[in-house]
Amino acid sequence: MDTIEEIKKRAAVQAMDFVRPGLTIGIGTGSTVYWFIQELAKKVRQGLVCQCVPTSVATRQLAVQLGIPMLELNDVEKIDITIDGADEIDHQLRLIKGGGGALLQEKMVAAASAKLVIIADNTKLVEQLGSFPLPVEVIPYGWKQVQRHIAGFYNIPVSLRMKDENILVTDHGHYILDCRFGEIKKPEIIAAELNALPGVVENGLFIKMANAAIIAGPGGSMQTLSV
């Protein structure tokens, strides 16, 4: 019986097919991308020439530790490809991201990329987005006002994300509100509404950004979705 980590690792290994010498690569954040970083580091040690842009402090720290050449987003004109994970993926390659708290930088790196490839295990593939709480990154000032507005407007539970009994603070000094929609029937509209709300920095809906998704499952199963 496959473990979930073995399944995630297979998706990460498959993503190496997209990696070629000389590319500028965006590296995502999360438990599946961890395995991609490990595989990429092996190739770098074997002589692969590339440069990479991280989507979080944690990703940068791990990549540097493993000897992967890293740059900041401001240092590059464009990114050839980004490999990242997702908390939910639908069959139109719309995503919910931000479970790891890095959604802002993940979206900025994705937006600068010619191609975004998502790697995930089969539990992340859904018919409709929304079972996973939608992260919304907000500035600390007045976060309760934003929370009340979202909860009241959509009639949903909205909670401030905590970590180790403290408020989780993102790499860029913001808070995250987790919005439990249950189902998101019109993600394009909700994404626009949330980002129009003063105090919201970014939301975890990634629409028309992913070009492909590698979905690994038990028993060695693998499928690739593309648009």
Phi, psi for 219 (deg, rounded to 5): 70, 20
**pLDDT given at position 2:** 87
**pLDDT given at position 157:** 98
- The answer to whether 59 and 33 have CB atoms below 8 angstroms apart is yes
Of the candidates 171, 16, 165, the one whose C-alpha atom is nearest the C-alpha of residue 83 is 16
CATH class for the region spanning 4-125+207-218: alpha beta
pTM of the model: 0.95
| Collapsed DSSP state (helix, strand, coil) of residue 171 | coil
- The answer to whether 69 and 44 have CB atoms below 8 angstroms apart is yes
**106 annotated active-site:** yes
Which amino acid, residue 128?
Q
Percentage above 90 pLDDT, the chain: 99
Of the candidates 93, 87, 193, the one whose C-alpha atom is nearest the C-alpha of residue 133 is 87
pLDDT tens, position by position, 50-103 = 999 999 999 999 999 999 999 999 999 999 999 999 999 999 999 999 999 999
Q: Give, rounded to a whole angstrom, the gap between the first and last alpha carbons of the chain.
A: 32
1 pLDDT tier (thresholds 50, 70, 90): confident
CA distances from 182 to 53, 75, 127, 158 (A): 33, 39, 12, 12
The CATH code for residues 134-201 is 3.30.70.260
Residue ranges covered by each domain of the chain: 4-125+207-218, 134-201
pLDDT tens, position by position, 176-195 = 999 999 999 999 999 999 99
- Which candidate in 5, 6, 106, 137 is catalytic? 106
**pLDDT given at position 227:** 84
Measured distance CA(88)–CA(215) in Å, rounded = 11
Residue with tokens 């990429």: 40
Provide the token pair at 6: 């073995």
> Is the pLDDT at 27 greater than 90, yes or no?
yes
Q: Determine the average pLDDT of the residues in 7-17.
A: 97
